[in-house]
Amino acid sequence: QWNPAKIYDWLKCNIQSEWYWGVQKGAEETLRQKSGNDADQACLFVALLRASGYPSRYVRGTMEFFPNLAKAKELIGIENEQDLLSFFRKAGIPAKTVIAGGKIQNIQIEHIWVESQIPYANYRGAVIDTHGKTWLGLDTHIKNAGYKIKTSKPWPETLDIRNIRDQYLAQNQTQDPIGFLQGYINAWLDQNQPGTTYQDLLETRTLVPDIMKIVPASMQISQIAITHEYADLPDELIHQIRFKAYRGQEIFFNTVLPAWKLSNNKVTLTYEPETIEDQGIINSFGGLDNTPAYLVRLRPVIKVNGERVIIGEAGLPMGSEYVLDLELVSPNGTEKISNTQIMGNLVILGIVSQQAITPQELPSEEQDAEYLLHKEAMHYIDRWNRAEEELGSLLKLAVLRPIPTLVTLGGVIEVDFLLNQPHRFNFKGIFMDADLRAVELVPDSSPLSPNSSFILDPSSFMRLSSLHGSVLEHKVIEEDFGIECISTAKLFGFLNSQPANPQPINITRTNIATILPTLAQPQNIKDAITNAVNQGFTVRVPQTELTYEDWTGTGYIVERLKTGEAGYMLSGQIAGGMTALSGSKWTGDYWIKVSNPFLPIIPNPFPSAAYTIKKIKANDFQHGVVGKKLKNKLQVMVRDKNEKPVLLAKVIFTIRAGGGKFSNGGQTYTAYTW
């Protein structure tokens, strides 16, 4: 209704407050997630005010909590003053204490709010009277009405969950770790504390509505200083991601995009022909998915929701390796992730600022490879987020995510080489890799007793969270696609559940020299273990490679025992999981879609819809030697009336003249389109 008072009330009551420093979401993403920090809520507030015709600007300054530190404790749920200070600093927010009488009386933090010129003199922004406009400071991030708290029951002093991870990994599991933990705690409570359940140990907070119907005369914070005023927030306050693709000294692209443009959107690393000649070759084979790798050169491209936003300046032969660096640049520093990529292998970059939003469900015939992999990335991050929020509620820990999360999904590719050049491009399955996930923890209560103080130790959280992430790396794809997958957690459960298997070994600095040479593991795995141990990590690893379904390889856990931080690694330096079945064993049409990601349109799944048949000219008129196979297979493309490729259409090849035989030894050969 273009009413500043209603805009202000709606934002206060409907946008949850999060704590991190700088812009991760922007206006649109904050609205989609219905949550954000001070800067992101200010972005949405300014966008709505300007759209309603009210001039507005951003203000950056220093604030204290009003009327005192008790307000900060109420808003955040942390009682200890030093822990409260640690909370802001771990969130990346500049903060310092205000000391009086030898005690912490308040905390000063940097903050972003809004000033807007609105009619105020008579009806305080209610737009009954448009006269008396004035500039007012407004903030929706600090929720003045606070939260309604459902307090949890005290943690039982003798309930110890520090070994839950090892119990979970001791055998094959059908539950995820949080479900396993809930069952363990409920069983313990039934025996030792009847009448109490797992749910009773969870603490929840619900935002209290605060509807004023007017714009307040003053802000709900104490303004200490105003340091900057902006028409738009500067780059130094915006989380950004640098994309750099290169091989050696040759750089294909090096471009920075804001995180708000990428979060929860379909970000795709894809490819296009380097030249017009390459495009012609691809056309002659009926598309890139059908083109031999050695015939074309490709250039890398980054797309966001189908729009080309970064285009490589040059390319390489299809199947060649190159490096993609992603640098997450925040106001407080930079995190860099480097991954080797294969030219022609489509990869989804799942980038999420705080809350993941799963895409709208499409009809099956409209779900292409990009959509399917993007949906899996969002499902994975969302389920991991929810698990961590529940763990934080259970263990009385505030959970912070100071930077965005990055997950990648793509094809597992095997490239055959001839004379050191890529020759054949073989699709083996899909992988999921948790590239970057930063979590900071702060205790939100005091120890209940010396015997139960472990519940405030973030290591319990970190062990269970990293385990849960590893389990989701196989479980998400298994549940959505209906096919068997492998992850490091699943590998250890499979190994430990079979007594005949040699049990995993813990490798540290004290035993690496004697243990590592005895392991029947590839040298690259031994090198990775050595590097981790030299950095102070403990590595848990099987003694030999293992086979699960059609997958053979190894996995290992890299852990800091003191903090509980852990990386779950699979062969190929993947911090994630992958499919474990060959294509013939996949259910539905998932294999066809993800192994042919460059199909221009989604195929028609009904063979009876076949309308036209067309030869692939590139494989026609071949010259061969009597008694030997032709170099390339004969191929045709079957389409329906709308020019869509048709799946599983029956095609009969027949030799009419000239002699020769098919691979089955006959004069006819039956094939089915795919």
| pLDDT (mean) for 506-530 | 94
Rounded (5°) CA angle 549-552-554 = 120
- Report how far residue 141's alpha carbon sits from residue 134's, in angstroms, rounded to the nearest whole number: 22
pLDDT at residue number 448: 46
- Report how far residue 468's alpha carbon sits from residue 35's, in angstroms, rounded to the nearest whole number: 24
How deeply is 1 buried, as exposed, middle or buried, from its count of CB atoms within 10 A (0-12, 13-18, 19+)? exposed
Identify which of 100, 102, 75 has the alpha carbon closest to the alpha carbon of residue 88.
75
**pLDDT (tens digit per residue) in 91-146:** 999 999 999 999 999 999 999 999 999 987 655 555 555 666 899 999 999 998 88
pLDDT at residue number 493: 95
Its sign, for the CA torsion 378, 379, 384, 389, is positive
**pLDDT tops 90 at residue 623:** no
Q: Which residues, 6+ apart, have CB-to-CB distance to 672 below 8 Å?
A: 607, 648, 649, 650, 651
**pLDDT (tens digit per residue) in 414-461:** 999 988 889 888 999 999 999 999 999 998 865 444 445 455 578 999
pLDDT at residue number 582: 93
**pLDDT (tens digit per residue) in 161-214:** 989 999 999 999 999 999 999 999 999 999 999 999 999 999 999 999 988 888
Pairing of β 321-330 and β 333-342: antiparallel
**pLDDT (tens digit per residue) in 113-124:** 999 999 876 555
How deeply is 174 buried, as exposed, middle or buried, from its count of CB atoms within 10 A (0-12, 13-18, 19+)? exposed
Tell me, which fold does domain 4-150+209-236 have in CATH? C8orf32 fold (3.10.620)
- State which H helix or E strand residue 468 sits in: helix 458-481
Q: Within 10 A of 396 (CB to CB), how many other CB atoms are there?
A: 20
**pTM value?**
0.89
Identify which of 468, 488, 460 has the alpha carbon closest to the alpha carbon of residue 385.
468
- Say what the alpha-carbon torsion angle 232, 235, 236, 240 is, to the nearest 10 degrees: 130
pLDDT at residue number 554: 94
**pLDDT (tens digit per residue) in 239-261:** 999 999 999 999 999 999 999 99
| pLDDT (mean) for 615-636 | 78
Pairing of β 650-654 and β 668-672: antiparallel
Per mean pLDDT, which range of 388-402, 489-503, 610-624 is the poorest?
610-624
Burial 47-79 (b: 16+ CB within 10 A, else e): bbbeebebebbbbbbbbbbbeebebbbebbbbe
- Report how far residue 580's alpha carbon sits from residue 337's, in angstroms, rounded to the nearest whole number: 26
**pLDDT (tens digit per residue) in 262-312:** 999 999 999 999 999 999 998 888 888 888 888 999 999 999 999 999 999
**pLDDT tops 70 at residue 316:** yes
| pLDDT (mean) for 16-27 | 98
pLDDT at residue number 1: 75
Percent of residues, the chain, with pLDDT higher than 90: 72
List the domain boundaries for the chain.
Answer: 4-150+209-236, 163-202, 239-446, 603-673
pLDDT category at 29 given cuts 50, 70, 90 is: very high
Per mean pLDDT, which range of 62-71, 365-374, 622-631 is the poorest?
622-631
**pLDDT tops 90 at residue 637:** no
| pLDDT (mean) for 388-392 | 96
- Report how far residue 442's alpha carbon sits from residue 156's, in angstroms, rounded to the nearest whole number: 21
**pLDDT tops 50 at residue 370:** yes
- Say what the alpha-carbon torsion angle 448, 454, 455, 456 is, to the nearest 10 degrees: 80
pLDDT at residue number 655: 87
